[in-house]
Amino acid sequence: MGKSVARAASGRDRLRLGPARRYAVSMAETIFTKIIAGEIPCHKIYEDDQVLAFLDIGPVSAGHMLVIPKEPAVTLDALSDEASAAIGRVLPRLCRALKMVTGSGAMNVLQNNEALAHQVVEHVHFHIIPKPDGEQGLGVGWPAGELDQEQGTALAQRLRDALTG
């Protein structure tokens, strides 16, 4: 399935697609599908039927790893409940292993969706990035505002409706 199909089915339209169709638009081959297939090597940390974890080739800090579903969804909103649960099950375990090895519990779990939000590889992935000190690891811009209560009430309602709609 080509990228043009994925683009055509992006945004609001994608929300309306049934599960089978949603996954069908996410089948493009990426560097990560090649790693899953064993066509490209990686420093593997963990693997089961649905999940693979390996070291990032461009670490932000030592121990920086990627956790990916084998299901080839491009962004998190397109991932099945089953694959999401499989990832959720192993993320804390991998954090514990990282903490044991680095001796520090300070770390960030990061997941980018779409190029504007810094996604480069079009296959869902979670970064686990140790934060050994103030200099190393992830730096985060956090331009916090203040939630207007009236707007918050309306926005939360719209989001609840989107979940059930």
Contacts of 56 (CB under 8 A, 6+ apart): 64, 65, 66, 127
Q: Does the protein bind ligand AMP through residue 30 (CB under 6 A)? A: no
The span of 6-14, 56-64, 98-106, 150-158 binding ligand AMP (CB under 6 A) equals 56-64
CA 76/CA 138 separation, integer angstroms: 21
Q: How many residues bind ligand AMP (CB under 6 A)?
A: 12
CA 78/CA 19 separation, integer angstroms: 8
Binding test (CB under 6 A) with ligand AMP, winner from 18, 58, 141, 145: 58
- For ligand AMP, the binding residues in 85-144 under the rule CB under 6 A are 112, 118-121
Find residue 51's DSSP bridge partners: 69
Taking the complex as a whole, the smallest distance from the CB of residue 141 to ligand AMP amounts, in Å, to 15
Taking the complex as a whole, the smallest distance from the CB of residue 126 to ligand AMP amounts, in Å, to 9
Pick the closest to residue 138 from 115, 118, 114, 116 (CA basis): 118
Binding test (CB under 6 A) with ligand AMP, winner from 31, 76, 91, 95: 31
Helix (H) or strand (E) holding 155: helix 149-164
Buried residues in 109-137 as b, exposed as e (16+ CB within 10 A): eeebeeeeeebeebbbbbbbbbbeeeeeb
Catalytic residue flag (residue 43):
no
Which residue is closest to ligand AMP by CB?
Answer: 58
Residue (30 or 102) nearer to ligand AMP, CB: 30
The span of 18-26, 54-62, 80-88, 146-154 binding ligand AMP (CB under 6 A) equals 54-62
Interface positions with ligand AMP (CB under 6 A): 31, 40, 42, 56-58, 66, 112, 118-121
Residues with catalytic function: 125
